[in-house]
Amino acid sequence: MAAALTAAGTAVPKTGPAWGAAGTDPADQAIRQAQDALVEQAHKGAIGLAGLAVRAARATLASDTRALSAAESSASAAGAALAAAQSKLASDRAALGAAAAVLADDRAKVAADRAGMGVIAVALYTGETTSLQPSTLHALETDQQAVIEAGEVESVASVLGHALRSDLAAAARQERRWDRLSSAVAADRSAETRAARDAASSSARAALEEADVSSDQQRLAAADGRLAAAEAALHADLAAVSGPPVGGMSILGGSALSPAQLAGWYRAQGYADLTPTPISQLAAWYVQDGQEEGVRGDVAFAQAVLETGGFSSPDSVELSNFAGIGHCDSCSAGWAFPSPEAGVLGQVQLLRIWAGAGDPPGGPAPALPAITPQAQGEAGCCNTWESLTGVWATDPYYGSEILGIYQQILGWALGRG
């Protein structure tokens, strides 16, 4: 497998000695940081929107909670006012009842007084009563009788008239008091009606506010769920691009770069893609096949750029061989793949085999019969890109050169985020 980068496009400089397996090389750490930053950048929009939704839902919930508290306070005050109005109405009704009883008693007294005066008047007029004095006055002489009777009539009439006037005044006062209490009861009834309406209205408002708060809580829960899902997706992607903890940059793992970013960087370098397939399609196959095979498809794309001089070598153009597979230093050509899509898949499958991963369940068939763990003596030899040096290619800087190109792509993508 050749490691030469031809002159088609920008040459990629060598990056120095192969990185150590411990994964503590500063360049290794820079790539890891760039990968994480790129993944976070890709999720930033979704997490930001979810965060905004959560904050908006919390603000709405707080506002509606305050409105609910105010509505409950209003409902409580309206209930208290209704209770006070009902209590006053009951009190005034009791007072009205007592006044009615007193008024009836006074009216009875007036009626009795009037009846008594009537009886006396009739008795005096008919002569049935000849003396109203006590028995001690009956010894008066006959010539004094008329004067005495007249004086007694006037005295009795005066007494009864005074009593009648007093009872009439008392009855009039009680009637006025009864009228005032009747008006107070009518006003109390109106106040009770208003207080009942206010209590019903406040209770209805409180019910609506409570429904709003419940709805806001549901929206907040949903927004929290979306935010948690977005953060979980971020953590999952970060874990995927980290790959297994093998030291160095693992061959296995997820892609931090999208097909659009791979193709955008490629075009920005001025490379001339001579393959029959557009670079955007090749990039999409690398990411898709990498995902299916559990291999970092974006780094495999960088390996292909290194191996083919930017997809312009004879192997890539004529044989759809994008990784120098089978092209030894003394060989005139590498293995031929039936199509560009098969060439990408074959490269990714071979990387998986060499990294020691088993066949993915339900994965595609081998691109070529020779690309199986049983047919590859190097199966399991190399679990990092650095460890491909001297095995996949004899170039002493092979792994570092792949990662150097990959770091360039990461930097380009981050610069356009």
Residues with Cβ < 8 Å from 270, sequence gap 6 or more? 9, 10
Please give the pLDDT value at position 124. Answer: 66
Please give the pLDDT value at position 20. Answer: 37
Tell me, what amino acid is at 110? Answer: V
Average pLDDT over residues 146-160: 65
Average pLDDT over residues 315-342: 93
Dist CA 78 CA 43 (whole Å): 51
Nearest to 130 by CA among 114, 108, 153: 153
Dist CA 26 CA 24 (whole Å): 6
Query: 79, exposed or middle or buried, with CB in 10 Å at 0-12, 13-18, 19+?
Result: middle
Q: Encode pLDDT of 67-113 as tens digits.
A: 999 999 999 999 999 999 999 999 999 998 998 898 898 889 888 88
Average pLDDT over residues 16-34: 63
Phi, psi of 384 (to 5 degrees): -130, 160
Greatest Cα pair distance, the chain, in angstroms, is 180
Q: Encode pLDDT of 349-399 as tens digits.
A: 999 999 998 888 888 999 999 999 999 999 999 999 999 999 999 999 999
Dist CA 264 CA 278 (whole Å): 12
- Quote the mean pLDDT of the chain: 86
Higher pLDDT, 331 or 37: 37
Report the percent of the chain where pLDDT is more than 70: 87
Please give the pLDDT value at position 296. Answer: 97
Dist CA 345 CA 322 (whole Å): 10
Residue 267 neighbours by CB distance under 10 Å = 12
**Over 60: is that where the pLDDT of 6 sits?**
no
Given pLDDT bands bounded at 50, 70 and 90, which one contains residue 132? low
Q: Encode pLDDT of 226-266 as tens digits.
A: 999 999 988 888 887 867 777 789 999 999 999 999 999 99
Q: Encode pLDDT of 360-373 as tens digits.
A: 888 899 999 999 99
Please give the pLDDT value at position 2. Answer: 43
Please give the pLDDT value at position 256. Answer: 96
